[in-house]
A and B are shown apart, each in its own frame.
Chain A
Amino acid sequence: MRFDLTRFPVVKFLLKNRWPQLIIFILMLAGFLYAIMAGYIGTPVGNNNFGIVFVWIAWWAILILVAVPFFGRGWCAVCPIPMPGEWIQRGAILEPPSRKPRWLSLRWPNKFRNIWMQNLTFTLVALFSAVILTTPKVTAVVLTVMLFLAVGMSVVFERRTFCRYLCPVSGFIGLYAQTAPIELRVKEKQVCITCDGKPCYNGASTLRQAYGGASPSTGSAAGYGCPWDVFPGGLTKNTYCGLCMECLRTCPNDNIAVNLRPFAADLAQPSRKMDEAFKAFIMLGAAMVYAGVLLGPWGTLKAAAYSVGTGAWFGYVAAFLALIFGLLPALFLLAVKVGQGISKSNVPARHSFTAFATVLIPLGLMFWVGFSLSFVLTNASYILIALSDPFGWGWNLFGTAAVTWHPFLTATLVPLQILALLGGLLWSARTALKVSREVKVSSVPVVVFATLATLIMLGLLL
């Protein structure tokens, strides 16, 4: 059941025309640089610094509560981090390329054409998060590094390799984008099969070759090949499509659709990839650790997480890594094996393991929603303060600088968290059922695993 939004001329225009997206990019880039600047020159007090407040409270809230669940990789569509690099790589902001690439344009090595690097970068950020989330200068450094990396990689490699293979946020957005009710797909596969040159992937120069130099009658000639290194004709899941709309602009046959669809349609196609499975474990474990360490009453844990370099911190790191790379996958493997035993299945365990890992996607997303609701609603009042006094310099740009901190919606927070976690479990159980049909292995032990994880998360949050 799919509903193509581009059938509305307004929608199609807004997505195809480069100006609306450019305006949004400029605004996002301005906000991004403003946040970095606040981190460097503003007050070192995190809750009064625009950098901390608008990255880890405002942007994070919008990302995990709205953008990912409802728009999949919607954030990636407007993220400013790759854009300066991409503009340099293209040599243009709006115009298409007219000659061969001007930079190195190397191909990302095969060994790294997976999300293991992103698993690593996210884990690194998670291990240092107590310091990153609370120290403006450190957040500024992290963002600056991401910006420089993105620019550097655009100049050395082809397309958006930073986004596709390195960005710590991109890793989990991609994984969780599979639950979103929006997707970009081709309208008719047959059209792609007969299409010459595949300009949606190779760029518009091939288009001109195919049409003997003249502009085609349909589609825009102003198109780059997919920056996300994805062939739109072969897209079946949201995981790696960044919703940048380049293919929509390039396709000469108007064969690209942006569909509304039921939630989590992609989960009916369980992944076979171990890197994605481990991303699911990392996210699940990280949500539980954050809930316990950051929102719990245990001061020693927080001190351990913050005091980077000390013995206590190494202990915390060891426990964290053991959980996400050891305990959780091991218990999950046990569940899968028990399921195989129940169903007397001969399928290799790895096969069922990666397939069932799909179950952890809606579960993990709801764990993050549950955690983030508390963190965001408790600290949202800082957004008002930081808006008016972004650097802690005594400004009052919008009259809200004197707002005293107070938590929002405390009465509804816990019911919302319970609903989120219950929803996640139900959704996971349904997904487990679909996977179970496909791999012919009982889903019961995996559902038990998900239930135990949910009970632990409930205990940590409530």
Chain B
Amino acid sequence: MKQWYYIILAGLAGAVIVFAPLPIRVEAPAARIFRVEASRFAYSPAVLTVNPGDTVTIELVSMDVVHGLYVDGYGASVTADPGQTARLTFTADKPGSFRFRCNITCGALHPFMIGKLQVGKNTLLWRAIGLTLLAAFSGVVLTPHPVSIKVA
């Protein structure tokens, strides 16, 4: 009997974790410019942080060969030759964590030339962490245990 109570509770907790709006401070959108150097096989800086709604301009500077920069989730991309800085401007209206990657074959490790764009807080990760802890707790508490453990 107790088990069913717990399952319902866990389900509710899970729903809260997934859907509850988080008290995130909303920053006013700004225009941000990032100078990103691309070389085989990394971006520098590799992690860019912006606020939701920001107008993001990435100045792609290729340091050795022709590189590209494609932002997952936004589909925006740009290509730069060494000596010719290219600019990509887009509005970061989708919050979350997005990888950006090279889309011009630039050598062996090209498929792994990756950076990260963080738009706002990574709430999806936080919720996933919450769910993970809930899952772990459920896995331990849900069914009879050979050793008695006090369940609150």
Contact = CB atoms under 8 A, between A and B. Distances in A.
A429 B136 contact: yes
Contacts of A432: 139
Contacts of B72: 378, 407, 410
B112 A433 contact: no
Contacts of A426: 135, 138-139
Nearest to A450: B136
Interface stretch (B50-58, B81-89, B120-128): B120-128
Contacts of B135: 422, 425-426, 429, 451
Interface residues of A, number: 54
Interface in A9-61: 45-48
Interface string B92-125: 0000110101010100111111111000001011
B139 A458 contact: no
A428 interface: yes
B139 A430 contact: yes
A454 interface: yes
Given A299-B46, A448-B136, A462-B122, A418 B131 contact: yes
A205 interface: no
A46 B108 contact: yes
Contacts of B149: 442, 444
A342 B133 CA distance: 21
Nearest to B127: A418
Contacts of B124: 414, 418, 462
Interface residues on B, range: 35 or more
Contacts of B139: 425-426, 428-430, 432-433, 447
Interface in A260-304: 293-300, 302-303
B49 interface: no
B33 interface: no
Contacts of A421: 128, 132
- The residue among B47, B115, B125, B139 with the most chain A CB atoms within 10 A of its own CB is B139
Given A425-B135, A447-B140, A47 B110 contact: yes
B66 to A, nearest CB: 14
B65 to A, nearest CB: 13
Interface string B41-72: 11110110000000000000000000000101
B132 to A, nearest CB: 5
B9 to A, nearest CB: 16
28 contacts: A46-B110, A47-B110, A295-B114, A297-B114, A299-B42, A299-B113, A306-B109, A343-B146, A378-B101, A379-B111, A405-B103, A406-B75, A407-B70, A410-B72, A414-B124, A418-B124, A425-B132, A429-B135, A429-B136, A429-B138, A448-B136, A451-B132, A451-B136, A454-B132, A458-B128, A458-B132, A462-B122, A462-B125
Shortest Cβ-Cβ A-B pairs, 3 listed: A429-B139, A299-B42, A297-B46
Given A429-B139, A448-B136, 6 more contacts: A45-B105, A302-B42, A302-B112, A343-B146, A406-B75, A455-B129
